[in-house]
Chains A and B, each alone.
Chain A
């Protein structure tokens, strides 16, 4: 075989390996999910959804866990959206280029890389102990809000950057103030992309376990949280608790709870992708 042929052959072989590498991760994920469905689907019935946890696996349910996840979703969103979007708007529209804005920028990309469990540690010291909230829903929501804040800030900035300059100039030309321009022109156009970022970030938040363990969310919660000041558990905590037990039955419960959690996460991710595509079509952003 000539050298050129050999090279062509290698080139072709790498092409096959590339396909293999691209698909292997997805195939393994599909295999995992198939395994979970086959383990968990048998346990997933109405009783499982509406029962409280129990020491007997046949009777245990996830009512406190999924309601806790919903609570955390809503509370975190309420806390993080104004702050994250506000910070994004400030950095993109107001901050003058200089040392301070540079520092803020580097700081935000650093925060995005801080391990989630570290957020649990500062949540514990600041919200649970210093502010004396205790290991309640609100403390969990504050902690997760800090965790996803950098993601939302970056998404907001990208969304604002994509708004055409001509629109802003038109608003200024009509005598609008800076804030009027932002509020009536920039944010409405950027909103679809901002919401996409917010949804993706919240999908990450409801899948988090480690920071909530550290702030002291409970593993065994035989009641449904009624106010933000109640103690709580969430689906990932419940899954972790069941996975850590030796009895096989609890593993089946964990698989069923994972199905519910994955449904939450995938629906959110799907919604985000849908929104992004729609705004691309509508505004060409």
Chain B
């Protein structure tokens, strides 16, 4: 009898431990929110939120300080949009090609190869951007600066191709075969079937994958830290140095700014902006994906 009870107690203990493991994920989220909010609170006691959102200069490390997040936001959006302009047409074409055109064996061989693109550490991509892509761009466009958002954006685009291609392919694959067959039965080509039947039917899954890639590009750090420069400026010119939210955080963290100072606290405000941005995007993507799943199951 006592053995039985001890087994039961052991079961309860183990369940408790396993629950604690799962609970760590909740604590992590609470920790992120608490740290960002509490530290940003100190920052916003010294800097008005309206200045933070509307000032067009970001110069916390200079003697004349401005705390406008706009230049960092435009820098972030600029590199992200360039990355999507590269990744979107390529990623979607890959998804369509692998789904409708490619022989099965080719598809099987190519998918894991494409995943390699996402497995390469981002600091390595930063090196590519700085050492290979920027000199190449300079050879056809001499006025381009040594640090610029174009090169960083292009390389980031290559990195996020697999996000769009593999999630997009999953979405296309999930379209019921009857739709596909109906389209072919009407005499449509593979191209027509893809663009007029499959993509519209899979649109929510495809949009979800694009938003996810967008969010990933916003949070990407090392490529921009290495290749895009460290000059926050309010510009849409892809040939000049800029700074993104992430590379600003890297700059402050790797410099010798005093912990606890107002200058240092800027990274929490910047981090909060970044977190809110990606959080909203991820949830939109999650929500669209969930809705879409319900449609077909």
- Which residues of A are in contact with B by a Cβ distance under 8 Å? 4, 7-8, 10-11, 14-15, 17-19, 21-22, 24-26, 28-29, 31-32, 35-36, 39, 82-84, 86-87, 89-91, 94-95, 103-104, 106-111, 113-118, 120-122, 124-126, 129, 146, 149-150, 153, 177-179, 200, 203-204, 206-210, 213-214, 216, 219, 236, 239-240, 243-244, 251, 254-255, 258, 261-262, 265-266, 269, 273
Contacts and interface: CB of A to CB of B under 8 A. Distances in A.
A10 B94 CA distance: 16
A240 B31 contact: no
A11 to B, nearest CB: 4
B90 A118 contact: no
A104 B25 CA distance: 8
A155 to B, nearest CB: 14
B221 A113 contact: no
B120 interface: yes
Interface string B195-223: 00000000000000000100110111110
B253 A216 contact: yes
B85 interface: no
Interface in B17-59: 17-22, 24-26, 28-29, 31-32, 35-36, 39
> What 7 pairs between A and B have smallest CB-CB spacing?
A115-B219, A18-B97, A207-B121, A86-B21, A90-B18, A113-B282, A11-B189
Contacts of B112: 273
Interface stretch (B6-14, B64-72, B175-183, B232-240): B6-14
B261 interface: no
Nearest to B254: A213
A117 B26 contact: no
Contact of B22 (A32, A91, A244, A273): A91
Given A87-B22, A126-B31, A240-B222, 20 more contacts: A14-B97, A15-B101, A22-B93, A22-B94, A25-B114, A32-B132, A86-B20, A94-B15, A103-B26, A109-B282, A110-B283, A111-B28, A117-B221, A117-B249, A122-B35, A153-B22, A213-B254, A214-B250, A261-B121, A269-B119
A124 B35 CA distance: 10
B121 A265 contact: yes
B126 A240 contact: yes
B127 A90 contact: no
A219 B254 contact: yes
20 contacts: A14-B191, A17-B93, A19-B97, A21-B97, A26-B113, A28-B158, A106-B286, A110-B279, A113-B216, A114-B278, A118-B271, A118-B274, A122-B31, A124-B253, A149-B24, A177-B11, A239-B124, A240-B123, A265-B119, A266-B119
Nearest to A259: B124
Contacts of B114: 22, 25-26
